[in-house]
Amino acid sequence: MNKLSAIAEERPLDTQLTVLLDRQKAAVQRDMNPVIALRLDRLARLDRMIVQNERSFADAIAADFGIRSHIVTALTETLVTRAAIRHAKRHLRAWMRPRNVGVSWTFKPGRARIMIQPLGVVGIVAPWNYPLQLVLNPLVGALAAGNRAMLKPSELTPRFADVLRQAVSQAFAEDEVVVVTGGPDVAKAFSTLPFDHLLFTGSTAVGRIVAQAAARNLTPVTLELGGKSPAIIDASADLKLAANRLAWGKLLNSGQTCVAPDYALVPKALVDEFTAHLSERAKAQYPKTAGNPDYTSIVSDRHFQRLNDLVADAVSRGAKTVELVGGSDTAVRIFAPTALLNVNAEMAVMQEEIFGPILPIIGYDTLEDAIGFVNKRDRPLALYWFGRDHAARDKVLNGTISGGVTINDTIVHLAQEGLPFGGVGQSGYGHYHGELGFRAMSKEKPVFLQARLSAGSLLYPPYGRFSRFL
């Protein structure tokens, strides 16, 4: 039986969800444009909720994964979300300010401005890989923009979802923010609700279904999806530095990161040297993986098996494995970090998002070849480039399109509050984070303020008086 907030459980699922949404919509009618003090108070309550529940959130996430260090959870989830809250609080007044827009002389002395209004109720559907950050970070934008929100965390992190539901119910009234928990049936029903905006984070396949469901309501959607994010190592790169940073971005959360570097493109002559550095740097960060509290479990047996199958398929087609750090432990789904050499495009590992600690390393002849390789595939969520040659860097920046880019590191563009975050093409559409996230969940309403004296009235009919001009 699904447990949807405080609603009586014997009602059908759709009715339970509709009751929750209707309560929030009624609250929107009562206060269409919450004042800044209320928005700041909601953000402060969200921050307090995270601080007060930090331990139970991290315990629940660790229990859901098997092994997931509290430090990883703090660095990648709570601190990131709290930084987003601080940023929103600092800039909210400026973001909310109406913007005056110039008018042509024919309309003067009238004035034009863009007024920023909340959309109403925002639905947020989140995946399991960073269950706290990916449900609460979109909420920061939603609350800053003055909306109310319904949250649907992933069923693959059920303990976290329950703790979150309780914490949210203590920090917020049900008509402000509410958490809905349950499996795919709940997720499906949730995405058919007539929200004023829906932000979905998850796989491209499910994103497509969600976008179709939302289209029936004409609900605008932000789709934060996945894909294969390449890392291009330039011939001018400091290989050891690049290997260290690539190992960090790939092995963080055992590769279960939407913006993890999926595969590496390396000049053919440097593949062996780069692989040796990668192995050395991976061991420096994780001297062992089995029994190492810093190294995260794969979230489920199904995903663990999927990763094993990817390696087996690649090996059966001629790939060579390089165990970067020894030590798997099936009982707690610890998957040993593995590089793959002699990879070709037909292998499953090059056709789907890996989402685990497997790194195909592919040699290239020229920079144009590397760019061509990226452009033959779906547009990725992230792209990484390592090197010191600025002309080569600019060639890659201008010659590829991706959701975002970090130069000479991995992942950290996502942590810049001043930068929007979002995919392009198959990796999604729309943005959140910072001001663009605020705007995505707002209506930017054009308003024209007519003056008492208006030149426009000279153009009213009857038009007979203009006939001699035509």
Place of tokens 């750090």: 325
Residue whose CB is less far from ligand NAD, 41 or 185? 185
Residue 202 near ligand NAD by CB under 6 A? yes
| Sign, Cα dihedral of 263, 268, 272, 276 | negative
Q: Which of 258, 353, 417, 435 is catalytic?
A: 258
> Distance from first CA to last CA of the chain, Å, rounded?
74
Residue 210 near ligand NAD by CB under 6 A? yes
Residue whose CB is less far from ligand NAD, 206 or 246? 206
Q: Is 273 exposed, middle or buried (0-12, 13-18, 19+ CB in 10 A)?
A: middle
Residue 428 near ligand NAD by CB under 6 A? yes
Residue 254 near ligand NAD by CB under 6 A? no
Residue 84 near ligand NAD by CB under 6 A? no
Residue 125 near ligand NAD by CB under 6 A? yes
- What are the beta bridge partners of residue 151? 124, 179
Residue 131 near ligand NAD by CB under 6 A? no
Place of tokens 């609460």: 136
224 in active site: yes
323 in active site: no
Nearest to 224 by CA among 246, 198, 262: 198
Question: In Å, how far from its chain's centre is CA 60?
Answer: 21
219 and 191 Cβ atoms separated by less than 8 Å: no
Residue 262 near ligand NAD by CB under 6 A? no
**Shortest Cβ 427–ligand NAD spacing (Å):** 7
**Distances from the Cα of 154 to the Cα of 61, 98, 184, 369, angstroms:** 12, 37, 9, 39
Residue 180 near ligand NAD by CB under 6 A? no
Contact region for ligand NAD (CB under 6 A) — 41-49, 107-115, 150-158, 237-245?
150-158
Residue environment code for 63-74, b if the CB has 16+ CB neighbours within 10 A, otherwise e: ebbbbbbbebbe
Nearest to 133 by CA among 421, 438, 441: 421
Question: In Å, how far from its chain's centre is CA 34?
Answer: 26
Residue 3 near ligand NAD by CB under 6 A? no
Residues 296-325 that bind ligand NAD (CB under 6 A): none
218-237 mask for ligand NAD (x: CB under 6 A)? Answer: ------xxx-----------
Residues 336-395 that bind ligand NAD (CB under 6 A): 353, 355, 381
**Shortest Cβ 140–ligand NAD spacing (Å):** 14
201 and 381 Cβ atoms separated by less than 8 Å: no
Residue with nearest beta carbon to ligand NAD: 226
Residue 206 near ligand NAD by CB under 6 A? yes
User: Would you tell me which residues interact with ligand NAD (CB under 6 A)?
Assistant: 125-129, 134, 152, 154-155, 184, 187-188, 191, 201-203, 206, 209-210, 224-226, 258, 353, 355, 381, 423, 428
Residues labelled catalytic: 224, 258
